[in-house]
Chains A and B, each alone.
Chain A
Amino acid sequence: MNAPAHPTELSRRWSSLSGIDINWKLVIPALILAEVINRTTGASTTTLLTEIIIFALFASSLNLLMSFGHMVSFGHSAYFGLGAYGFTLAVTKAGLPLEAAVLLGPLVAALGGLLFGALCVRLTEIYFAMLTLACAQITYTVLFQWYDFTGGDTGITGFMAPRFGLSGQNFASLTLAVVTLSLFALWWIVRSPLGLSIRAAGQDRFRAEALGLTVRRVQLTAFVIAAFFAGIAGMLYAVLHGSAFPDYAGLGLTLDSLIMVVLGGLNSFAGGIWGAIIYKLLGAFVPSLVHEWELVLGLILLVIVLTAPKGFAGLIARLGLDRKGGR
């Protein structure tokens, strides 16, 4: 045993022995770049940028489940939708001021995550995935059918000035700030003892249980956290467009988020962020070049899964741009 080391020396030793670190040399220029793009380009680019930022958070919340909890959810859009509707209905039905409603949206999503999650974590693997799908479809159906309350398939529009009446550029900056803080919170969770327990439960539940961990409780905690952050993303999306539609909780968005995580890179914190950037950029530019853009996307996915199963983040790590290796 070495002589007792200084606390900072100990934390330094711990960081060098655990795998996840923020590469500030990459993060700070990226944030500055986003803001520069926001301020120097036109309105359509600003809207695209805002959506990319929102989806970076949405995909990262799913990534917490997939890369760290090893829980593949086929219904993550439910919590995006609940965040959007929680916010929207708080304004339209409960008459809450916007400041309170923006908090309520993510909380509704977290509550939904608690309710559905408690059911889903009773199962594992594909059965877990199918149950998350069922829960999301229930959410979608309720939003779609309950005309009196949710407006059904016509959604809810015109209840507020989009973006709180902010200019597109200012709202993009606000979104960037909220999402950056949220991602930082997610990263903090992943690095914390809670995050270590989520990863432990995901990687070997029997080992974790034998050590004294109640795996279902850990998984439920992860599920609620993921739902909460998906809810923030959904709420931001509803504010951006000043509307909410059942499709926010639909299969399409679930699929989008899954593709983003795989594109961006499984088992990497940055995977969700990279995925959102790449997927949204492809979706914005490829359709103007090729009519069947889904075909192009399919081919790209095929190539990624076959040649770079760790996605874009894995590629970055291989190029040595991420010093800690693709975690």
Chain B
Amino acid sequence: MDPILSARNIRKRYGAFLALKDVTFDLPRGERHALIGPNGAGKSTFIACVAGQLPGVEGKMIFRGEDITALTPASLAKKGIGRTFQISRAFLQMTVMENIMAAVVIASGRWTSLSRGLYRDNLEKAFGLLETVKLDDRAAARVADLSLGDRKRLEFGMALAGDPELLLLDEPTAGMSIKERHYLMEMVATRMEETGKTLLFVEHDIDVVMKIAQRVTVMARGAVLVVGTPAEIAANEEVQAIYLGGHH
């Protein structure tokens, strides 16, 4: 099958430090794919490259047959790439519902609208998203008052507002309890399964990776080390030596 995302010789330099060394990577449509590797491997940098967050990226990024290498985050979002951040980002001074509605309004491309009818038309969709991420009972709460786990779920819900073809989650479970991690990622996996969208996520918790991912890419020192199914990765001696055998 055609890959939904193809990275060709992606290279990113910070001064003299080469954070990504000619990363070439294909992501098949509909796959749940995990990006793992020790700290400094370049996982988050790669996600940031796909999401258009970094200037001066060399190489070529192809999304659904189109060169997206130099596009801004906003235009990538419009093309169907959704994301969450390593450190949760939401509109802290708004209510949960307003956050979701902002995401829905922005995704609809009608941010200049002065009509509150737009809210009414999208309220069912917004409630639906809140139900998907199990936050419908917190709709009137201010985001600043939410727990970390709730915020991460909210961010996931917001990322879903635009029905992204490709969802990028950068360490979605960082800082969460084991129970919360599995809860969130099972929710994500179910949603991906149902909608047939593609998921690329960075994750440190190997249990989560083994359970959620269909394939895994291991990165080390800015390069792709090996790609395979969770079972293959678990059995790979090189991976065990460089990563699994280390501090995990």
Contact = CB atoms under 8 A, between A and B. Distances in A.
Interface of A: 1-2, 4, 7, 10-11, 13-14, 16-19, 188-189, 191-194, 196-197, 199-200, 203-204, 206-215, 218, 221, 267
B67 interface: no
A203 B74 contact: no
A203 to B, nearest CB: 4
Given A203-B93, A204-B91, A207-B91, A212 B120 contact: no
Contacts of A267: 93
B90 A204 contact: yes
A209 B73 contact: yes
B131 A1 contact: yes
B92 interface: yes
Contacts of B94: 18-19, 199-200, 203
A1 B127 contact: yes
B90 A207 contact: yes
A188 B116 CA distance: 9
A7 B117 CA distance: 9
Interface stretch (B98-106, B192-200, B204-212): B98-106
Contacts of B82: 210
A11 B120 contact: yes
22 contacts: A2-B127, A11-B120, A14-B101, A14-B116, A14-B119, A14-B120, A17-B96, A17-B98, A19-B94, A191-B116, A193-B110, A194-B114, A196-B98, A199-B93, A199-B98, A209-B77, A210-B73, A210-B83, A211-B102, A211-B107, A212-B75, A212-B106
Contacts of A18: 94-95, 97-98, 101
B51 interface: yes
Interface residues on B, range: 35 or more
A271 B118 CA distance: 27
Nearest to B108: A193
A200 B97 contact: no
A196 B123 contact: no
B139 interface: yes
Nearest to A16: B140
Contacts of A4: 124
B111 interface: yes
A249 to B, nearest CB: 29
B91 A203 contact: yes
B89 A204 contact: yes
Given A193-B110, A194-B112, A194-B113, A207 B89 contact: yes
A199 B106 contact: no
Contacts of A13: 123
B32 to A, nearest CB: 20
Closest 4 CB pairs of A and B: A212-B77, A17-B97, A197-B111, A207-B89
Contacts, number: 133
Contacts of B113: 192-194
A13 B122 CA distance: 12
B147 interface: no
A31 B97 CA distance: 32
Contacts of B15: none
Given A2-B127, A197-B106, A11 B119 contact: yes
Nearest to A4: B124
Given A207-B158, A213-B74, A213-B111, A19 B119 contact: no
A13 B72 CA distance: 35
A203 B78 CA distance: 21
Contacts of A208: 91, 102, 106
B120 to A, nearest CB: 5
A2 B126 CA distance: 12
Contacts of B101: 14, 18, 196
A192 to B, nearest CB: 4
Contact of A204 (B92, B127, B162): B92
B56 interface: no
Given A207-B90, A218-B111, 16 more contacts: A14-B116, A14-B120, A17-B97, A17-B139, A18-B98, A191-B116, A193-B115, A197-B112, A199-B91, A199-B98, A203-B92, A208-B106, A210-B77, A210-B159, A211-B161, A211-B162
B56 to A, nearest CB: 18
B245 interface: no
B85 interface: yes
Contact of B119 (A1, A193, A203, A207): A193
B153 to A, nearest CB: 15
Given A193-B110, A211-B103, A206 B89 contact: yes
Contacts of B53: 206
A3 B83 CA distance: 31
B28 interface: no
Given A17-B139, A207-B158, A192 B114 contact: yes
A19 B98 contact: yes
A18 B127 CA distance: 13
A14 B73 contact: no
A165 B130 CA distance: 58
Nearest to A14: B119
Contacts of B110: 193
